[in-house]
Each structure stands twice: as structure tokens, then as C-alpha cells.
Amino acid sequence: MKIILPILDIIIHVAANIARYALLFVALLLLTVTGVFLRTLRQVGGRGSISELAAKLSSANEKMLDMLKNASRHKPANIKELTSTEKGRRRLIAGALLLIFILASYPPSHWGPWYLYQKGTASYYADEFKGRTTANGEIFDPSQLTAAHKDLPTGITVLVINRDNKKSVYLKINDRGPYVKDRKIDLSAAAAEKLGISDAGLAEVDIYTRRSILR
């Protein structure tokens, strides 16, 4: 089960990203078709007959279908072929941008598998700590998703889940604390908002991290 759940988490996120970019592709395709339609209307300019308009639209539709068919039949080119032509370079740049978008929406630091490290109470920083230097030398910014922990190494990413509402957030450990008895982790204001504890101030949470730093 410890292996299956992280794999399912990755599959769900990848599927969500694929669906998101598929919808974006469909939207761009519809915009392209709309552009072709409007350009055809301008070319006709109200002077041609309905039959001429229909013929132009039919021709534009056939061109669009041919483009899609050619794209589906296109064989993958190697890097040398891609960089040797302007069209190939554009494809390479588009592919790189798509990869960047996917990694930005679900970066490697969020990938599993995750293992339960600790259960306990979470609190969040008071506003008076804004601008102070954290344990790893960063300036504390309550708008960033960060947290303080007594034992976990600074610089790592942890997954924190609110046990009451099941909301979760990925956080970077960049400070030490909390130094109040029975509290396990101190969150930034942004992290507390993500977990839905801004009003209550405290919540029971599960802290997940990677196996390599388990106690």
C-alpha cells in the first residue's frame, strides 16, 4: 500500500496535467478554426454568393484536416534534424516549454513516494517574524510556502496534511522551531491558509517526507 498510493498520486497528477494541456490544445484549435472562418468572410466581403462562401469554408476545412493528418503521420526527428531547420527549432522550443509547464505545475520536489514521518500539532508564525533571517539564511516571507521544524534538515520539501479537513500542502523547511511544548511544525501564513487553519491557529497534522531522511 505504501508503494501503490504514491504511484497513484503521480498518475493522477500526470493525468490532470495531460487533460489540462489537451483542453488548451482544443481551445487553440478552435481559435485557429475561428480565425480561418473570419478570414474567409473578409475575403468574400459580402460580394460572393452563398455557394462561394461554402466552397471557401469547405476548402479551409480540408486544409485543416490535412494538417492534422500530416501531424499524426509525422515521424519523430532526431535532435540534429530538429535544430537544422527553423520549423524544427520551433517544435523543439514548443516541446521544451510544454515540459517546463508540466514541471512547474507538479515539480520533482513534489513527487513521491512519501512516508509518514510524524504526527502532531501545527501552528503558524506571527506577523512579527516577517523579514527575519531563518535558520538556513533566507529572509522569512509569510507569503511563501515554508515551515520551521526542530529536527528535519533545512532545504527539504515535506508534505503536510490537515487531519481534520484533509487539505494538504508541500512546504520547504527553512527554519527551526516551534519552541512551544507539544507543537511539531510552525507554518508560514500562506501554508496555514492552504491547510485551512488561519482562523483556528492550530491543527493536528501528518508530516510526510522521503524514506532517505526517516528516523
Mark whether 68 and 97 lie in a shared domain.
yes
Report the CATH number at residue 136.
2.40.40.10
Number of folded domains in the chain? 2
**Domain end call among 83, 108, 133:** 108
Q: Considering the chain, what percentage of its residues have pLDDT values greater than 70? A: 55
Q: Where residue 28 falls among pLDDT bands split at 50, 70, 90?
A: confident
pTM passes above 0.95: no
The candidate with the shortest Cα–Cα distance to 178, out of 202, 198, 195, is: 202
Mark whether 178 and 195 lie in a shared domain.
yes
Say if residue 71's pLDDT is above 60: no
| Residues 95-113 pLDDT 10s | 777 777 666 666 666 776 8
Q: Where residue 1 falls among pLDDT bands split at 50, 70, 90?
A: very low
Range of the domain at 11: 4-108
**Domain end call among 108, 130, 156:** 108
**Is-contact 198 126, C-beta < 8 A?**
no
Whole-Å CA distances, 152 to 173, 193, 203? 7, 22, 19
**Domain end call among 108, 128, 161:** 108
The candidate with the shortest Cα–Cα distance to 189, out of 120, 126, 131, is: 126
Say if residue 133's pLDDT is above 80: yes
